[in-house]
Amino acid sequence: MLNPSLTRRINALPDTLSRLMSDPAVSESMARADESKRRLTRLLPLDGVEQSAIDEYRRDWLARYVYNSNAIEGSTLSLKDTELVMEGEFVPTDSPARYIFAARGVADGMAYVEWFVDRRHPLDIDVIRKLHEITAVFRQVGVSGSRW
């Protein structure tokens, strides 16, 4: 069953994002980010050691992002358990499956975001819906006052 309020908010996102981009502070911040990316690109190609360091940083950042995102939602997985779940090497037997699936969902969602960024695909409603589908595929949300 669709949530009408959420559907309205999702449908309003293009207007919201457009207004946000017309904000001078946001535009300036995006311009600085673009310039930083151009400067970084001029350093390419990286040697093996540099690329390895960046890959390790990205793995560490993603593990911490997934861990903190799920901890906010009440997950009891440790950072180390989260890293192992993301590597597919370990399933903690003392943690509820929902926390393990949630960690996998957030990691898969970030992989989806990176895939779209790499292809310079514009952000649109379909991308947002698909991202929500990926990250919430195993999630059961309890709504206060509801039998669902």
Which pLDDT score, from 0 to 100, does residue 139 have?
59
pLDDT at 142: 52
| Spatial distance between the Cα atoms of 122 and 133, rounded to a whole number of angstroms | 18
pLDDT tens digit sequence for 5-47: 777 777 777 787 778 878 899 889 989 999 999 998 898 898 9
Residues 39-65: pLDDT tens digits? Answer: 988 988 989 999 999 999 999 999 999
Quickly name the fold that domain 49-139 has: Fic-like fold (1.10.3290)
pLDDT tens, 92-148?
778 888 898 899 999 999 999 999 888 988 888 888 888 888 887 665 555 445 554
CB of 63 within 8 A of CB of 95? no
- Provide the terminal-to-terminal Cα distance of the chain, rounded to the nearest Å: 11
Residue-range domain boundaries for the chain = 49-139
The predicted model scores a pTM of 0.68
